[in-house]
């Protein structure tokens, strides 16, 4: 059963939002843009595996795509998590082209494409970190100790990979190409045959994972050394991307391209939830959207299909879903 559907990954949404809200001249603009490109390629790779996930028995497997679980200053981002009564499987997808080398001796990951050779962080270390995270989460919430395993899946069908070094035999069962993934999952079914998590445990764990899912904004801003105060505020023109639009004739007006928009603040509100906070008050809305009128802000917020709590001045609005 698909518990958490595939949507555009939060990291892609956040990186795109950052690029909308820093000047082109910003020292980190190119670096963030490159990271966004890599993440988009990765997302395409993940989508290419959906065909295989659909083949899994629906009753046995609970599927979660793009989980972002807070871990102190760090963020535990899992491409796909499969829950079963017998085991939990973390799937980390690598959508890279060329020849990929898992060097188990030096714990390196190398991509060779044409004449070019490039080093990347070792996927096994990352997967093991995610494995430890899930194990700790289970223990902290008093779930029975169900085995937690991982697979690194190479989704690019044109890529080839080799595993070298003295620990290759340990890593081999944990890496595969997309078209072999189902076979590897069947192997795991053959190894882990004892049901450990009850239906109630699975429901409880599903709820917990969904509740913990949070945009990893702080982590990404910190990674690129960007302060929240550096981010440009205001409503962006949907036609020419100019920032900020102004209120005119009860609409948003772009001084650059002269277009009007009724709902350009929705995009800005999405950026706010991704970059600043997951909740917003009338005052914060006015500051971010550059409007003076409390009543206009109230009207726009009430028409934005948000959840809210509190009354009058203390009312806080929240997105109904993440991403919103
Ligand atoms: Zn414009």
The answer to whether residues 170 and 196 belong to one domain is yes
The answer to whether residues 69 and 204 belong to one domain is yes
The answer to whether residues 192 and 287 belong to one domain is no
The answer to whether residues 158 and 303 belong to one domain is no
Which pLDDT tens digit goes with each residue over 42-83? 999 999 999 999 999 989 999 999 999 998 878 899 999 999
| Residue 227: inside a domain | no
Rounded to the nearest angstrom, the distance between the alpha carbon of 232 and the centre of ligand 1 is: 16
Question: What CATH number is attached to the domain comprising 273?
Answer: 1.10.10
The answer to whether residues 201 and 237 belong to one domain is no
Rounded to the nearest angstrom, the distance between the alpha carbon of 319 and the centre of ligand 1 is: 26
The residue out of 190, 220, 250 marking a domain boundary is 220
The answer to whether residues 96 and 9 belong to one domain is yes
Mean pLDDT of 197-209: 97
Number of domains in the chain: 2
The answer to whether residues 70 and 121 belong to one domain is yes
Residue 312 above 90 pLDDT? no
The answer to whether residues 145 and 212 belong to one domain is yes
The residue out of 166, 192, 220 marking a domain boundary is 220
Rounded to the nearest angstrom, the distance between the alpha carbon of 251 and the centre of ligand 1 is: 13
| Residue 40: inside a domain | yes
Residue 24 above 90 pLDDT? yes
- Mapping DSSP onto H, E and C, the string for the chain reads CEEECCCCCHHHHHHHHHHHCCCCCCCCHHHHHHHHHHHHHHHHHHHHCHHHHCCCCCCCCEEEEEEEEEECCEEEEEEEEEECCCCEEEEEEECCCCEEEEECCCCEEEEEECCEEEEECCHHHHHHHHHHHHHHHHHHCCCCCCCEEEEEEECCCCCEEEEECCCHHHHHHHEEEHHHHHHHHHHHHHHCCCCCCCHHHHHHHHHHHHHHCCCCHHHHHHHCCCCHHHCCCCCCCCCCCCCCCEEECCEEECCCCCCEECCHHHHHHHHHHHHCCCCEEHHHHHHHHCCCCHHHHHHHHHCCCCEEECCHHHCEEECCCCCC
The residue out of 158, 192, 220 marking a domain boundary is 220
Residue 164 above 90 pLDDT? yes
| Residue 246: inside a domain | yes
| Residue 323: inside a domain | no
Rounded to the nearest angstrom, the distance between the alpha carbon of 14 and the centre of ligand 1 is: 22
The answer to whether residues 48 and 192 belong to one domain is yes
Rounded to the nearest angstrom, the distance between the alpha carbon of 297 and the centre of ligand 1 is: 22
Q: Which domain holds residue 178?
A: 2-220
Share of the chain above pLDDT 70, in %: 100
Rounded to the nearest angstrom, the distance between the alpha carbon of 87 and the centre of ligand 1 is: 52
The answer to whether residues 130 and 216 belong to one domain is yes
Residue 322 above 90 pLDDT? no
Rounded to the nearest angstrom, the distance between the alpha carbon of 239 and the centre of ligand 1 is: 5
The answer to whether residues 16 and 54 belong to one domain is yes
The answer to whether residues 216 and 294 belong to one domain is no
Rounded to the nearest angstrom, the distance between the alpha carbon of 243 and the centre of ligand 1 is: 8
| Residue 13: inside a domain | yes
């Amino acid at each position: 059963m698909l518990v958490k559907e595939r949507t555009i990954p939060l990291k892609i949404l956040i990186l795109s939002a950052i690029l909308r809200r820093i000047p082109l001249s910003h020292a980190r603009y190119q670096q963030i843009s490159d990271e966004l490109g890599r993440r988009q390629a990765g997302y395409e790779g993940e989508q290419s595996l959906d065909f295989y996930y659909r083949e899994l028995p629906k009753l046995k497997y609970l599927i979660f795509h793009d989980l972002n679980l807070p871990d102190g200053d760090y963020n535990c981002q899992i491409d796909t998590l499969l829950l079963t009564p017998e085991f939990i499987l973390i799937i980390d997808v690598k959508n890279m082209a060329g020849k990929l080398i898992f060097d188990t001796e030096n714990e390196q990951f190398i991509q060779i494409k044409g004449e070019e050779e490039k080093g990347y962080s070792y996927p096994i270390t990352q997967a093991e970190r995610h494995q430890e995270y899930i194990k700790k989460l289970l223990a902290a919430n008093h779930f029975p100790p169900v085995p937690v395993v991982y697979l690194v899946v190479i989704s690019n069908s044109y890529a080839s990979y080799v595993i070298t070094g003295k620990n290759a035999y340990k890593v081999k069962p944990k890496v595969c190409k997309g078209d072999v993934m189902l076979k590897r999952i069947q192997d795991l079914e053959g190894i882990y045959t004892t049901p450990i998590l009850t239906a109630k445990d699975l429901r409880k764990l599903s709820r917990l994972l969904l509740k913990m899912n949070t945009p990893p904004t702080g982590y990404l801003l910190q990674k690129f050394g960007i302060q929240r105060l550096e981010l440009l505020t205001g409503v962006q023109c949907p036609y020419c991307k100019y920032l900020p639009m102004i209120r005119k004739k009860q609409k948003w007006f772009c001084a650059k391209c002269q277009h009007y928009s009724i709902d350009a603040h929705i995009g800005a509100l999405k950026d706010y939830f991704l970059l600043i906070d997951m909740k917003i008050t009338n005052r914060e809305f006015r500051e971010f959207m550059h409007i003076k009128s409390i009543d206009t802000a109230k009207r726009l917020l009430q028409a934005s299909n948000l959840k809210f709590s509190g009354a009058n001045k203390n009312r806080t609005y929240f997105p109904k879903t993440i991403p919103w």
